[in-house]
Structure 1
Amino acid sequence: MSSTFVAILMGSDSDLPVMQATISVLKTFGIEHEVRVRSAHRTPDAAKAYVKDAEERGCKVFICAAGLAAHLAGAVAGMTTRPVIGVPIDNGPLQGHDALLSTVMMPGGIPVATVAIGKAGAKNAGYLAAQILGVADQSIAEKVKAERAANVIALLAKDEAMQAKLT
């Protein structure tokens, strides 16, 4: 593994189907990553040990996914000064709204960049991590720019095709 990587932490292995979107984005940009299950409530000591070890090995961004009480991102943010991105998982009786509030409502000085609930948020967490890394790594920044440009071309092509069908 390279010395720079993104750590993806999930409160439960049941979060993996959602977090596959993050993994896919990181792979698209060639960003090294690790995926671990650590719970703020059930394995706090293991979570802390992993965060410290990951920092020492070169982790630059932590992405934390959790549902319900969703304290994982906040707990990790309290352990590190590296950027932390929280992904609220859309499960439970409130379909992720509780997780969103638990993730976004952090005290001043302990920020968590929080993305949307569910798979869209998981995808954006990957993109946000790439943009953060791209500040110091021009090759990642160029890959993000190229993907954005390709998205513009694809959307305009879809519009042209739709316009042709409408006339």
Structure 2
Amino acid sequence: MRIAIVAGSKSDKEIMDAAKEVLDEFGIDHKEFITSAHRSPNLTKEVAQIIDREFDAAIVIAGLSAALPGVIAAYTHKPVLGVPVASDLLGLDALFSIAQMPRGIPVATFGIGKKGAKNAALFALRILSLKNPDLLKKLKDRAEKEEEELRKLNDM
């Protein structure tokens, strides 16, 4: 099981780290890539082809026009999970760009920033858990632990 984490800029490292934190918690192998759909289209195509050959899914982080998740999705049949980055327009531009993919190029869209990256990582794990009962158990155990923590806060 391997997940690619792709960002359009090295300035998105904090968001990449949020996804990595979740994958590390579950012991999932991952690799980071930095490429731009606009500044390095050939490299982006190569990264997408690597994802298609070597990974089970890709978490793709992008801001501004947020073309990167769609370009990656155009070159792979693996699940692409798009995470928008906040920018001058608070990330709404990126959110809408990722969410409005044309027919035939699906990209799952998550919330803006680090919370979205964590949810994208958890969603990728849910996809992988469809064929991995041990991972499914870990996900269920994590959910139970979170609920137990909330019960303690309520003296329940």
> Runs of at least 4 residues of structure 1 off by over 4 A?
none
User: Which residue in the other structure is 2:99 paired with?
Assistant: 104
**SS of equivalent to 1:36:** strand
Indicate the structure (1 or 2) with the bigger Cα radius of gyration: 1
Q: Distance in 1 between matches of 2:67 and 2:153?
A: 41
SS across alignment from 2:56: strand
Unmatched segments (≥5 aa) in structure 2: none
The residue number in structure 2 matching 1:53 is 50
Secondary structure of the 1:156 match is: helix
Q: Which residue of 1 aligns with 2:118?
A: 123
The question of whether the paired residues in 1 share the 8 Å contact of 2:69 and 2:107 is answered with yes
CA RMSD of aligned residues (A): 1.1
Matched residue SS, 1:15: helix
1:20 counterpart = 2:23 = no
Report the TM-score, using the length of structure 2 for normalisation.
0.96
Q: How much has 1:22 moved relative to structure 2?
A: 0.4
Q: 131, 140, 151: which one pairs with 1:136?
A: 131
**Shift in Å at residue 97 of structure 1?**
0.5
Task: Please name the residue that 2:3 is paired with.
Answer: 6
Aligned residue runs from structure 1 range 75-94, under 5 A: 75-91=71-87, 93-94=88-89
Using the size of structure 1 for normalisation, the TM-score is 0.90
Q: Percent identity?
A: 40
What is the CA–CA distance in structure 2 between the aligned matches of 1:83 and 1:75, rounded to whole Å?
13
Are 2:66 and 1:70 equivalent residues in the alignment? yes
CA shift, 1:35, in A, is 0.5
Q: Deviations over 1:85-113 (max 9, x none)?
A: 0000112x111000000111011221100
Q: Distance in 2 between matches of 1:53 and 1:108?
A: 24
Kindly provide the amino acid, as one letter, of the partner of residue 104 in structure 1.
Answer: A
1:62 and 1:18 mapped to 2: Cα distance? 14
In the alignment, structure 1 segments of 5+ residues that lack a partner are 162-167
Letter in 1 for 2:7: M
**Alignment-mate amino acid for residue 157 of structure 1:** K
What is the distance in 2 between the residues matched to 1:47 and 1:110?
16
The alignment covers a number of residue pairs equal to 156
